[in-house]
Amino acid sequence: MPREMLIAMAGGAISGFASMAFLWGIPGAILAVYLAPLPLLLVGLDHGIRAVSIAALGGIVFAGVFGGPMAGVLYAAVHALPMWIIVWLALIKQTVITPSGGTAEKWYPAGYILCILSVLAAGMMVVAFVSAMPEQGGLIGMVKAYLEQVFSFMMPTLEDAARAELVDGIAPLFPGYLAISWVVMAAINASIAMAVLTRVGRTMRPKTKLTDLALQDWMSWALIGAAAMALLGQGELEYIGRNLALILAVPFFFLGLAVVHTVVRRVSFPGTLITAFYVMLILSGWIAMIVIGTGLIEQWAGIRRHLKGPGPVRNGND
């Protein structure tokens, strides 16, 4: 059996095993589940689309055999297909003519891949919305019922009134936050995979700096459409619009971070400033909203274009 196939199958098995850490009560289950896509990305970005296809199929089979058919379906939807799409897009390249008359390789932009991920998550949300329409209470009713079961299991001594209040507080934005965590962790796993492969000299694609991130123009209109649905819709339409807006704002969050890093590069103490910024970001959700707003302004007005020029000279990485 070729070495590439063995590596791909091993990567799929490791990914499938990590995805079921919760079912088996493995210590550090949350971290294992979040890192489940990483083996697929490492295999794909190192060995190509054929290898990631084998790894993804192996992960589906592993999850299906040891976790049941539904576990296999969930693995395919949450990990296998999205990571396959990331690898496929990441390895697309064109040969372009440079202004000097030479040739250069142009890779599919990282920001565009991020947009596709967010749209994919939004699509899953719409599928869940349509699937839940025949059920009593629709999608929000299903979300509340699910949260009720989770909290009844996790906090059995909590009074019914307190549990109902907790469910009512989380349910309005729960699908959006769940999808956001998926998109963010997919992006983080892709960044980790690229960093590891770049360090060992195994990546096919050159590393992309956060400060060079750019988004597709249509992403702004998708976010505006979702926000309009949330503001003008009633009932279920308002609910789905609100959560779609959260999901589609994720690329603008990363674009806002690109602006922040560009600004920080121009000061003489970037490490301290960026550390303080991320501490505040973790502690305050309002900082995240400001970053998203900054990303929107960057998309429409081009903040970074006005910051071109040399910053202070210093040693170290960006």
Taking residues 136-143, report their average pLDDT: 85
Q: Is residue 100 part of a domain?
A: no
25 shares its domain with 5: yes
CA distance 123 to 182: 13
pLDDT of amino acid 229: 93
Same domain? 244 vs 258: no
Between CA 123 and CA 131 the distance in angstroms is: 12
According to the model, what pLDDT value does residue 49 have?
A: 93
Tens of pLDDT, residues 118-129: 999 999 999 988
The answer, yes or no, to whether residue 302 has pLDDT greater than 50, is: yes
If asked whether residues 20 and 84 sit together in one domain, one would say yes
Residue 297 predicted with pLDDT over 70 = yes
The answer to whether residue 97 is domain-embedded is no
Q: What is the pLDDT of residues 239-257, one digit of tens each?
A: 999 999 999 999 999 999 9
Spatial distance between the Cα atoms of 193 and 195, rounded to a whole number of angstroms? 5
- pLDDT of residue 277 exceeding 70: yes
- Render pLDDT for 62-72 as a digit per residue (tens, 0 to 9): 999 988 899 99
pLDDT at residue 42, as a whole number: 95
Considering 248, 275, 299, which residue would you say is the last residue of a domain? 248
Among 45-54, 64-73, 166-175, 299-308, name the one with the lowest average pLDDT. Answer: 299-308
pLDDT of res. 80: 94
Domain-embedded: residue 272: yes
CB 108 within 8 A of CB 89: yes
Q: Higher model confidence: residue 285 or residue 63?
A: 63
Together in a domain, 171 and 257:
no
Q: Are residues 193 and 300 in the same domain?
A: no
- pLDDT higher for 269 or 230? 230
- How many angstroms separate the Cα of 119 from the Cα of each of 61, 80, 133? 27, 17, 21
Those residues whose C-beta lies under 8 Å from the C-beta of residue 29, and which sit 6 or more positions away, are 21, 22
- Does residue 129 sit within a domain? yes
Cβ atoms within 10 Å, residue 318: 11
Containing 96, the helix (H) or strand (E) segment is strand 93-97
Number of domain units in the chain: 3
Range of the domain at 234: 110-248
Mean pLDDT for 137-165 is 84
Query: Do both 196 and 208 map to the same domain?
Result: yes
* 221 and 141 inside one domain: yes
- Per-residue pLDDT at 1 exceeds 70: no
Mean pLDDT value across residues 38-56: 94
Same domain, 168 and 155: yes
φ and ψ at 106, to 5 degrees?
A: -120, 120
Write down which residue in 37, 59, 91 finishes a domain.
91
Determine the pLDDT at residue 260. 94
Average pLDDT, rounded, for the chain: 88
Could you tell me the pLDDT band of residue 160, with boundaries at 50, 70 and 90? confident
Is the confidence at residue 316, as pLDDT, over 50? no
